[in-house]
Copies of this chain bind each other. A is one copy, B any other.
Amino acid sequence: MAEAERQTLAELGELGVLARIFPRLPKADATLLGPGDDAAVLAAPDGRYVVTTDMLIHGPDFRWEFSAPDDLGWKAAATNLSDVAAMGARPTALVVAIAAPQSTPVSVLEGVAEGLRSACAELAPGCGVVGGDLSTSDVFTIAVTAFGDLEGRRAVRRSGARPGDVVAVAGELGVAARGLRLLFERGREGGLRADAHAVGRQLRPMPPIGLGTVAADAGATAMMDVSDGLVLDARRLARASAVDLEFDGLTDDEAHGGEDHALLAAFPPDVALPDGFRRIGLVVPGAGRVLVGGAPVDELGGWDPYEQWDGRLS
């Protein structure tokens, strides 16, 4: 490793680190005033803006033994972009706060910045980083807040599904969870050899960001990001809408795997599903359940970091 890459945050100091990171960050088209002042200023031509925040912590959310720095930057961007897309909005900008051990080589932060840039370029062109914060912590932590523009659309909430609507998804289901199992069983290299696609999706999820606005324009009545597993998240949408969701069928992998960040949506029965969405069921009268063949799917399914991470795995 070259000398410049081995330098740690402690050696470079905050300004030195920022000088190395800034050139690697993606620019946002909506920027009126970018990084370097007390705050950034962004355009909101719609008169509204969409906001979401999601933090990734070393241990429960990612591990350096599995993720390269640019994988982490990608994932931190992708998970937040997906929440913006799930409202029917176009992602416009991110702010990124990172806390890292002082012994961290600056090349790690450069890699994170490059991952943020790749994710914005490939998943949400025009979206960029407009501000951030850099702190020290023994636990590597990245907190991203993402913004979006509804461009005149109504926001698509979880609560709008109506009996008779078709339930559809865009994106993969269960693939990232299969990748995570392989990482735990075989490590990064062994996991990639066993199933490069699944492990790749766990490390660098490919949420169908562009389909969020497409679904909204097509008339989606409800939509959400599948981050904790299809059954668990579908039940949330069912409860918010006060309906049941009757699925056509479900494999175990589809039902319980989280982290693919598929889009789950409901469309009125007379709407042709937009390209990229496939039917998985029907909205029926009810009270917040997920059914297969008329029977409720059990309560389990999905990933709850509070219950399923015990700290010993890190």
Q: Which residues of A contact B (CB under 8 A)?
A: 9-10, 12-14, 17, 32-33, 36-57, 59-61, 82-84, 86-87, 89, 93, 95-97, 99, 102, 130-133, 135-139, 141, 143, 145-148, 150, 155, 157-159, 223-225, 240, 304-307, 309, 311
- Chain B contacts for A224, CB-based, 8 A: 37-38
Residue of B nearest to A57 (CB): B137
| Copies of this chain, whole number | 2
Known contacts A305-B14, A306-B9, A41 near B155 by CB under 8 Å: yes
Residues of B within 8 A of A53 (CB): 95-97, 131-133, 143, 145
Q: How far is the CB of A251 from chain B (nearest CB, A)?
A: 25
Assess A49 versus B49: contact at CB under 8 Å? Given A41-B155, A60-B135, A305-B135.
yes
Find chain B residues with CB under 8 A from A132 CB.
53
Given the known interface contacts A44-B44, A132-B53, the answer about A14 and B304 at a Cβ–Cβ threshold of 8 Å is yes
Minimum C-beta distance from A306 to chain B (A): 5
30 pairs of residues in contact across A and B, judged by CB atoms under 8 Å: A9-B306, A13-B304, A13-B306, A17-B306, A37-B87, A38-B158, A38-B224, A39-B52, A39-B84, A39-B86, A40-B50, A41-B49, A41-B150, A43-B48, A44-B47, A44-B49, A51-B95, A52-B131, A53-B131, A53-B145, A54-B97, A54-B133, A55-B97, A59-B137, A135-B305, A136-B309, A136-B311, A138-B311, A139-B139, A143-B143
Of B38, B51, B83, B148, which contacts A83 at CB under 8 A? B38
Shortest CB–CB separation between residue A247 and chain B, in angstroms?
21
- A129 CB to closest chain B CB (Å) equals 11
Determine if B40 and A51 form an interchain contact, defined as CB atoms under 8 angstroms apart: yes
Kindly list chain B residues whose C-beta atoms are within 8 Å of the C-beta of A143.
53, 55, 97, 133, 141, 143
Question: Is the beta-carbon distance between A43 and B47 smaller than 8 angstroms?
Answer: yes
Contact of A306 with B102 in the complex, beta carbons under 8 Å: yes
A311 to B101, CA, bound (A): 9
